């Protein structure tokens, strides 16, 4: 990493950064690695500046939203990581919400509810950022981001552009941002439907109670660890294999929901990956189904 020039540029623009930064608090799995450089732009303008400097200097980097679909290696990661958490402006205009990449999905869902807008209820329990949710096409209870996104602004090495809804190429847990690593989401515009505050809040409460009853949200995890295989559920297959409660170190197949790998305390990166391999092998042997990891790995 050409660190002196990079750090000078970041300083010149007043962008916060930390060297040798622990990642434990940036990942809902609570697996602790350290990255060489953590960069914290305070708004979209600083975000774009940081990306441009990194690109111009050829520095290897990745983006972290709320770290709720990421597993960091618990070692030294020789990369710069740009955290979007402070790029969190949210603006509402009638039935439209414009949110910067790092805005919390839960906050946006709550804002929609306060304003009697329906459409974001599904996201009220998803602990990600807008950027991460667009990247993943996050979804739940038969709704997903592609139902509400109308456009987004994207940074790429070549240009900054507005992405129309079609250009997002949304599919199950994927979008153009995931397919093309050159593209980074700066903000997104969401179109909702006028409804009634009480009706929206009631739906959110019901979904939240359902989530609490079905998912081990009391333990660190990254949500569903595997993608849905076709029209089936990874959790169902894993449960039928008799793997509920199976542990490698402190990594465990949740007893409450077999689709979740949870951290019972001090799970290491290797514990989680070894458990993943065991699950994949058993599901393949018993059902002939190849499970695919949904969680993203940074090492
Ligand atoms: C308890 C729990 C429940 C969950 N429930 C659900 C659920 O119901 N449905 C669901 O879909 N997911 C769920 N998840 C997973 C996760 O919350 C979502 O995938 C979320 O969208 C990830 O957002 P994030 O900001 O945390 O992404 P991160 O984990 O920070 O990043 C994920 C990926 O997105 C990329 N990324 C992040 N921001 C940007 C950006 N601005 N531009 C380009 N790329 C970017 C990162 O580089 C990384 O590759 C759950 C997770 C937990 C812990």
pLDDT tens-digit readout, 197-234 = 999 999 999 999 999 999 999 999 999 999 999 999 99
In this structure, the answer to whether residues 156 and 108 fall within a common structural domain is yes
Q: Are residues 108 and 139 in the same domain?
A: yes
End-of-domain residue from the set 200, 227, 252? 200
Cβ of residue 153 lying under 6 Å from some atom of ligand 1:
no
The response to whether residue 184 sits with its C-beta less than 6 Å from ligand 1 reads yes
Q: Is residue 140 within 6 Å of ligand 1 at its C-beta?
A: yes
Q: Distance, CA 68 to ligand 1 centroid (Å)?
A: 5
Same-domain pairing of 96 and 26: no
Domain check: are 50 and 131 in the same one?
no
Helix (H, G, I), strand (E, B) or coil at 123: helix
Q: Which two tokens stand for residue 265?
A: 């305390």
Q: Are residues 56 and 106 in the same domain?
A: no
Last residue of a domain, one of 83, 115, 141: 83
Ligand 1, atom nearest to 62 Cα: 47
Residues 164 and 222 in one domain: no
> Is residue 44 in contact with ligand 1, taking CB distance under 6 Å?
no
Q: Which atom of ligand 1 is nearest to the CA of 173?
A: 11
Q: Counting atoms of ligand 1 from 1, which one is nearest the CA of 177?
A: 43
Residue 155 lies in a domain: yes
| pLDDT tier at 2, thresholds 50, 70, 90 | low
Same domain flag for 105 and 196 = yes
The pLDDT value given to residue 218: 96
d(CA 215, CA 218): 8
Interval 138-154 mean pLDDT: 97
pLDDT at 160: 93
Active-site pick, 101, 173, 175, 276: 173
| Catalytic status, residue 224 | yes
Q: Identify whether 252 is part of a domain.
A: yes
First to last CA, the chain: 16
Q: Please say whether the beta carbons of 290 and 274 come within 8 A.
A: no
Shared domain for 69 and 94, answered yes or no, is: no
The answer to whether the beta carbons of residues 168 and 146 sit under 8 Å apart is yes
According to DSSP, the β-strands at 143-144 and 139-140 are antiparallel
Ligand 1, atom 28, lies closest to the CA of: 67
Residue after which a domain boundary falls, among 171, 200, 229: 200
Answer yes or no: is 209 within a domain.
no
> Using a 6 Å cutoff on CB, does residue 221 contact ligand 1?
yes
The per-residue pLDDT for range 100-128, each reduced to its tens digit, is: 999 999 999 999 999 999 999 999 999 99
Ligand 1 pocket, 259 CB below 6 A? no
Residue 157 lies in a domain: yes
Q: Is the CB of 138 under 6 A from ligand 1?
A: yes
What is the Cα gyration radius of the chain?
Answer: 19
pLDDT per residue as tens digits for the range 32-67: 899 999 999 999 999 999 999 999 999 999 999 999
The alpha carbon of 38 and the centre of ligand 1 are apart by a number of angstroms equal to: 18
What does the DSSP assignment read for 226-285?
A: B---TTS-HHHHHHHTT-TT-EETTEEE-SS-TTEEEE-SS--HHHHHHHHHHHHHHHHH
Q: How far is the CA of 133 from the centre of ligand 1 (A)?
A: 5
Q: Is 205 part of a structural domain of the chain?
A: no
Residue 222 lies inside a defined structural domain of this protein: yes
Could you tell me the pLDDT band of residue 157, with boundaries at 50, 70 and 90? confident
Residues 189, 222 contacting (CB under 8 angstroms): no
**Domain-embedded: residue 207:** no
Give the active site residue among 153, 224, 254, 268: 224
Kindly state whether residue 8 falls inside one of the protein's structural domains.
yes
CATH of the domain at 76: 3.30.43.10
Residue owning tokens 């980097």: 61
Q: What value does the mean pLDDT of the chain take?
A: 97
Give the CATH number of the domain where residue 291 resides: 3.90.78.10
* CATH number of the domain enclosing 142: 3.30.465.10
* Whether residues 153 and 232 fall in one domain: no
pTM attached to this predicted model: 0.97
CB 154 within 8 A of CB 84: no
Q: Are residues 235 and 161 in the same domain?
A: no
Q: Which domain holds residue 53?
A: 3-83
Q: What percent of the chain has pLDDT over 70?
A: 99
Number of domains in the chain: 3
> Could you tell me if 134 and 73 lie in one domain?
no
Q: Do 249 and 186 have their domain in common?
A: no
pLDDT of residue 151: 97
User: Which atom of ligand 1 has the smallest separation from the CA of 68?
Assistant: 26
Place of tokens 């916060």: 16
The closest-lying atom of ligand 1 relative to the alpha carbon of residue 134 is 21
pLDDT band at 1 (very low <50, low <70, confident <90, very high): low
Confirm or reject: Cβ of 66 under 6 Å from ligand 1: yes
- Residue 123 Cα to ligand 1 midpoint, Å, equals 11
The mean pLDDT of 243-256, rounded to a whole number, is 98
């Amino acid at each position: 990493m050409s660190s002196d020039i990079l750090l000078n540029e970041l300083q010149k623009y007043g962008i916060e950064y930390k060297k040798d930064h622990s990642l434990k608090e940036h990942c809902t799995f609570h697996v602790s690695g350290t990255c060489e450089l953590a960069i914290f732009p305070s708004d979209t303008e600083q975000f774009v500046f940081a990306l441009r400097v990194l690109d111009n200097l050829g520095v290897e980097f990745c983006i972290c939203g709320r770290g709720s679909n990421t597993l960091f290696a618990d070692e030294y990661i020789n990369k710069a990581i740009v955290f979007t958490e402070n790029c969190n402006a949210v603006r509402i205009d009638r039935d439209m919400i414009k949110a910067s990449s790092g805005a919390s999905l839960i906050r946006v869902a709550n804002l929609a509810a306060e304003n009697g807008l329906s459409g974001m209820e599904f996201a009220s329990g998803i602990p990600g950022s807008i950027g991460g949710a667009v990247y993943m096409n996050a979804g739940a209870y038969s709704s997903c981001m592609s139902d509400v996104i109308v456009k987004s602004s994207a940074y790429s090495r070549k240009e900054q552009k507005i992405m129309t809804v079609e250009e997002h190429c949304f599919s199950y847990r994927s979008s153009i941002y995931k397919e093309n690593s050159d593209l980074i989401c700066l903000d997104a515009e969401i179109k909702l439907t006028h409804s009634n505050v009480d009706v929206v809040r009631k739906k959110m409460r019901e979904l939240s109670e359902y989530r609490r009853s079905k998912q081990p949200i009391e333990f660190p995890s990254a949500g569903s660890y595997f993608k849905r295989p076709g029209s089936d559920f990874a959790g169902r297959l894993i449960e039928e294999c008799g793997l509920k409660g199976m542990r490698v170190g402190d990594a465990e197949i949740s007893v409450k929901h077999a689709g979740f790998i949870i951290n019972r305390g001090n799970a290491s990166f290797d514990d989680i990956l070894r458990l993943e391999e065991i699950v994949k092998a058993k599901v393949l042997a018993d059902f002939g189904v190849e499970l695919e990891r949904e969680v993203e790995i940074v090492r």
